[in-house]
Amino acid sequence: MEFNLGFLIISVLKIATMLGWIYGLLWALGHTSRTTQVLGTVLAFAVVQFALSVPIGEAALFNDFDQGLLFQACAMAMVVLGLNLIYGFNGQFSLGQWGFYGIGAYAAADVTYRWTGGDARGLLVLGIGVILGGLTIWGVSQLLRRYAGMPVLSAFTLYLIGSVAAGGIAVWSGGILADLLSPLFGTTDAPGLLGSDPALHLVFFLAVIFAGVFAAEVSFLFGLPVLTLGSDYFGIATLGFTIVVNTLMINSDTILPFPEMKGGRGMIGIPKLTTWFWAFLFLVLVIIIMRNLIHSSTGRAIMSVREDETAAKAMGIDVASNKLLAFVIGSFFAGIGGGVYAHFIGFLSPGTFDFLVGFNPLIIVVFGGLGSMSGSIAASFGWIFFLEGLLRVILGQMGTDAPTWRFVLYPIALLLLMLLRPQGLLGRTEWGFLRAPEAEPRDSGEPRPTPVPTGKETREPTMSGAPTIDHETPTLHITGLTKLFGGLRAVSDFDLTVRRGELAGLIGPNGAGKTTVFNMISGLYLPTAGDIQFQGEGTVGMEPFEITQLGIGRTFQNIRLFPNLSVLDNVRIAYHPHAGYGMFDAILRSRRFDARERELTERAQDFLAIFKLERIQGELAKNLPYGQQRRVEIARALASEPRLLLLDEPAAGMNPAEIVTLMELIHFIRDRFDLTILLIEHQMRVVMGICQHITVMDFGQVIARGTPKEIQGNVRCIEAYLGKGAVSAA
């Protein structure tokens, strides 16, 4: 066995150079000067092109083997970025990314294979199919808006029927159009317009895009029912999907009507159209789309689902839709990567897309760091150049069977990483262009909103500034509300009316059912019986995000912030339902996006200033002390623009000085924002000091109602808290 030390040194230098190249590309893309961005990107492309094509001595700096690794790394980076969006940013454990990678590869390859044979049907059928499929999905979604509450499987059936019909129309119309276009191909000796080389490269570009969209549409149909499962079960379902896709690849010439794919023997004759230009172009496009999406209201909504689904719902975020969105976009990236890979390798074997190999993107995501785009790109290039390149060659020098040992070394390396650096190589660090744009502090000369009281005053807050209660207009009206958990009656025949502008209290011993009432009001629990009316509109059966958007905000007994997001982002997330721009505005960085994002940031900073939190707007929420976390949670709830605010034990864990501050704070926000407030609290000092009307619960039932003075002398209330012996002693 001969070990080539020179090869080892050169390979390590190439790996280090590629990592430096990635850092330089991201630095250039993130520069504030548009000229530097353009020139830097062109230079990054030109440097690699020079290494691939200009000989130094007898060979180029990057030989054919290096070129293959480079194209594989670009394709893998696209796949891994998509998986990081699904898993790292959205928190959905998926093992299906490799299946969508294979779908993109085979779909794009079939288009160009047929095209080079003078058959345009592949391009026409796929193009028409994805367009009609997209229109069908949009049309069915508009129809379903009229029928709120339709079961997921029923909605899935409608989408599936529509998609199958769209596919049938695409096959029929594509065949007709292909016959009409056939004269334009010409002959082998005299090729027509469609047989020219420029036309072939245009078809390649369209084939890759269409393949990515096709993978995205398949992921939509698959994800619609499957994403209702928990993350672990979703992972198992996606693994099953990858196995099914691989089985269809093996039988593509028998079960499926694609004899050119040759089933398990593999598809040959795919034109090798992937050049450095195309690989670089698609990689940069995926990076830009991913970055612009993450650093927007849509991206913050996607990340909020990862952090805390319940809190996300309470902020008016449609959790199911955002899970599906992340899954679809991630699958789109995988399909694009598959198309690039197919036209570099020129041969597709089902073994390439086996489910065991499908664990590679997941390992790379973990290596780079969950939630780090820079980590995903760097780890993808490092993985391909080191493990698939350098290590494979070195092991090959040790014997013919030695290269298979890399499949043993992969999990060992992953295990060591989990022990030594569980957050991944880069954690959540981003480089250059991929860093989150820093929100500039508001100009100190601008008018600032009135801050909350400091809490230094020793007096108790009074009701002198309270708004007038409208006794004729109930903001919240509850009748006969009941909730059963199996045989346990948590809430029974509960009635409550809260008038506009009122500050009402809901008290009772632990386990009385108070938080269960809040959960039913906010839509987290579906009542077994009863009715809830908010400003005259029934809310029973609505989704939590719909109730929040209607005007009901809440906090939680146990603070539910988004711990790994900044204080500013925690508040900005509440504006998502009212962002005023869409996903494509964010991706394209339109003027509407710039204007609205600036406005939303300033409004969030105003709330932070009101609560004296503006100095820590960039701090992660999990790093704050308890009192500041509670203020952030209340600020976030107010940013959701509620008319009714539900506060669940806001004084829990506070010392006496903080309690005084909290009482003043509650008065302040009620008066400042013209709110109606319903409060759950065990601190009698708070309840009796600020509430105008109190409802008392015990064992799921209302036992008393009245003013603070009336409740203090109520015998049943004393018994509920202190027992009958306390009443007898009194």
DSSP one-letter code for 487: T
**pLDDT tens digits for 550-570?**
999 999 988 999 999 999 999
Mapped onto helix, strand or coil, the DSSP state of residue 495 is strand
The answer to whether residues 330 and 256 belong to one domain is yes
**199: in domain:** yes
**481: in domain:** yes
CATH number at residue 534: 3.40.50.300
**589: in domain:** yes
pLDDT recorded at residue 75: 96
The answer to whether residues 667 and 543 belong to one domain is yes
Q: Which of 434, 459, 480 is the last residue of a domain?
A: 434
Spatial separation of the C-alpha atoms in residues 298 and 317, rounded to whole Å:
10
Domain with 102, as residue range(s), is 63-434
Spatial separation of the C-alpha atoms in residues 647 and 555, rounded to whole Å:
5
What is the total residue count of the chain? Answer: 730
Q: Where are the alpha helices (DSSP H) in 387-534?
A: 391-396, 406-420, 514-521
Q: Which of 377, 408, 434 is the last residue of a domain?
A: 434
Strands 537-538 and 488-500: unpaired
**5: in domain:** no
The answer to whether residues 619 and 691 belong to one domain is no
The answer to whether residues 329 and 198 belong to one domain is yes
pLDDT recorded at residue 14: 85
pLDDT recorded at residue 338: 96
**pLDDT tens digits for 346-373?**
999 998 998 888 888 998 999 999 999 9
- For the chain, how far is it from start to end, CA to CA, in angstroms? 95
The answer to whether residues 725 and 674 belong to one domain is yes
pLDDT recorded at residue 462: 40
Contact of 576 with 297, CB cutoff 8 Å: yes
Rounded to 10 deg, the angle between the 319-345 and 276-294 helix axes is 170
The answer to whether residues 532 and 579 belong to one domain is no
The answer to whether residues 393 and 508 belong to one domain is no
Specify the pTM: 0.90
**16: in domain:** no
Spatial separation of the C-alpha atoms in residues 126 and 170, rounded to whole Å:
7
The answer to whether residues 606 and 682 belong to one domain is no
Output the CA–CA distances (angstroms, integers) from residue 324 to 146, 208, 279, 385, 491, in the order listed: 20, 22, 27, 33, 34
Output the CA–CA distances (angstroms, integers) from residue 276 to 23, 281, 376, in the order listed: 18, 8, 20
Q: Which of 620, 639, 658 is the last residue of a domain?
A: 639
The answer to whether residues 482 and 598 belong to one domain is no
The answer to whether residues 373 and 300 belong to one domain is yes
pLDDT recorded at residue 140: 93
**18: in domain:** no
The answer to whether residues 261 and 375 belong to one domain is yes
Spatial separation of the C-alpha atoms in residues 574 and 641, rounded to whole Å:
8
Which residues of the chain are under the pLDDT cut of 70? 1-4, 6, 57-60, 186-190, 395-407, 442-472, 722-730
pLDDT recorded at residue 409: 73
DSSP string, 154-207: HHHHHHHHHHHHHHHHHHHHHHHHHHHHGGGGB-SSSB-GGGSHHHHHHHHHHH
Spatial separation of the C-alpha atoms in residues 115 and 194, rounded to whole Å:
9
Spatial separation of the C-alpha atoms in residues 94 and 84, rounded to whole Å:
10
The answer to whether residues 617 and 659 belong to one domain is no
**10: in domain:** no
Spatial separation of the C-alpha atoms in residues 688 and 709, rounded to whole Å:
8
Q: Residue 256: which residues within 8 A CB-CB, separation 6 or more? A: 248
pLDDT recorded at residue 457: 42
Say how many domains are in the chain: 3
pLDDT recorded at residue 460: 41
**pLDDT tens digits for 405-418?**
666 777 787 788 87
**217: in domain:** yes
Spatial separation of the C-alpha atoms in residues 163 and 220, rounded to whole Å:
11
